[in-house]
Amino acid sequence: MALIERDSSELLQQKQRTVTVEISDMTFGRLGVGRVGGKAVMVPFTAPGDLVEVELIREHKSYLEGRPLKVLRSSPSRRTAPCRFFPRCGGCDWQHITYDAQVALKARLVARTLSHALGLEIDPDEVLEPAPREFGYRSRVRLKVDKGGQIGFYEAASHRLVPVDECLVALPRIEIESARKLVHALGCGAREIVLAADAKRLVATIYLQGDLGIREIEQAARFVEHNFGISGVILRDARRREVIGEAKIVVEIEDGLALEIDGDCFSQVNHELNRRLVALAMEMGHVGQGVQLLDLYCGAGNFSFAAAKRGAMVLGVDNDPVAVQCAERNLQRLQLGNIRFVATNAEQALSFLARAGYRPDVVVLDPPRAGAGPLMAEVVKLRASRVLYVSCNLPTLARDLVQLRGLGFKVERIRGLDFFPNTHHVELLVSAVLT
């Protein structure tokens, strides 16, 4: 990477640091893409169809980076972002684009990336289901707390705090003012606060800078007693975890099947679309009576419980002991006999299960953003006839599917759900069968 002032590019020689760019596309991120001097130029917070005056700030081998100076002609898909913290707040990166255009752009990105990686024809008009609402959908937000007790999100690609007092994509029950009161009641000492909500409750998890002591526990207990809109608090330091009050949220994964999940445990953030995700996973996995299903990265059992309810024999694996405790508590409450949960790393579980001769019919893989990567070869050793890959990260999904194809699997169906409106992120579900 070289600063363009010191570079000998043609553009620099012409001293043409300010250029006019027509934006034609988006990256899988916050950047609009146009072309200048035969090279791609990436410009944040632009939309396809914009004509923008851009200051070129850096040159990379295959593209230029630009800073938008002025929108000379607005794209028909541009709008004034409804949130007053946009674009400084790094939480949303596509809020300046109308919702219909966001869906069309995401669908095109998904179809293009996966067609390119897998050599398949994917129709962008068929691949993505829009969200029922573009604001007020997120059931969990992770806020940063600075040394002065201010709460907010980081700016994109930075550690600069943008203090906020509301978040439009969060459920209305997620009141940031309540979190601010809690942080102040605790006399600061918080570095991060996670707010998780369902229809009735708001739960706060405070990640402390220092050690958790009796003082923090007493203050949090007093706060919960006075009921400032937070029903439960979980206090965590590097080693300890203390639960105060009612600190579980309820996630109904399908009609008649609700899970109680601790506020500091992973749960899918779009509860409405999660019901669709679970239903699609069961359908695409042909999950039914007697099917042996390995739910790798199972969290609190989002897919495990739906599968067990259909009569599948389920083994759920997750390396977060809190998630597995939640899963086990739900198992006791729901009285299902055909599930086992194990708290361990996916890596260790796979090697143990292969040695033990475990042969599932279906493996559900729902890894964190980094993907399952080197584990794909280990998954295949279990000789399941079907893999269902659930992902919130298109690039790592594409990478892992290429591996899976190389290991003898054929991609059968791809579905996207717009879990995260106003951001470039998307939830994807892919079923692949052993050929």
By the criterion CB under 6 A, which residues form the site for ligand SAM? Answer: 266-268, 297-299, 302-303, 317-320, 323, 345-346, 366-368
Taking the least distance from each CB to ligand SAM, the nearer of 91 and 299 is: 299
Structural contact between residues 149 and 155, judged by C-beta atoms closer than 8 angstroms:
no
* Least gap, CB of 204 to ligand SAM (angstroms): 20
Q: Are strands 362-365 and 386-391 parallel, antiparallel or unpaired?
A: parallel
Residue nearest to ligand SAM (CB): 299
Token look-up 């998307």 returns: 426
Q: Write the Ramachandran bin of 114: left for phi over 0, alpha for psi from -120 to 50, otherwise beta.
A: alpha
Taking the least distance from each CB to ligand SAM, the nearer of 48 and 367 is: 367
* Least gap, CB of 53 to ligand SAM (angstroms): 41
* Least gap, CB of 332 to ligand SAM (angstroms): 19
Structural contact between residues 403 and 119, judged by C-beta atoms closer than 8 angstroms:
no
Structural contact between residues 421 and 390, judged by C-beta atoms closer than 8 angstroms:
no
Write out the H or E segment, with its range, that includes residue 381. Answer: helix 376-381
Taking the least distance from each CB to ligand SAM, the nearer of 146 and 254 is: 254
Taking the least distance from each CB to ligand SAM, the nearer of 55 and 254 is: 254
* Least gap, CB of 389 to ligand SAM (angstroms): 11
- DSSP states of 104-163: HHHHHHHHHHHHHHHT----HHHHEEPPS-SSS-BSEEEEEE-TT--EEEEBTTS--EEE
Which position among 83, 298, 326, 392 bears the catalytic label? 392
- What three-state secondary structure class fits 403? helix
Q: Is 392 a catalytic residue?
A: yes
- How many CB atoms sit inside 10 A of residue 164's CB? 20
Taking the least distance from each CB to ligand SAM, the nearer of 182 and 298 is: 298
Token digits of residue 185: 């009641």
* Least gap, CB of 319 to ligand SAM (angstroms): 4
Tell me the C-alpha distance between 252 and 276, whole Å. Answer: 11
* Least gap, CB of 373 to ligand SAM (angstroms): 10
Tell me the C-alpha distance between 67 and 42, whole Å. Answer: 8
Structural contact between residues 194 and 263, judged by C-beta atoms closer than 8 angstroms:
yes
Taking the least distance from each CB to ligand SAM, the nearer of 187 and 368 is: 368
CA dihedral 133, 281, 315, 411 (to 10 degrees): -130
Tell me the C-alpha distance between 162 and 148, whole Å. Answer: 13
Structural contact between residues 87 and 81, judged by C-beta atoms closer than 8 angstroms:
yes
Which residues are catalytic, by number? Answer: 392
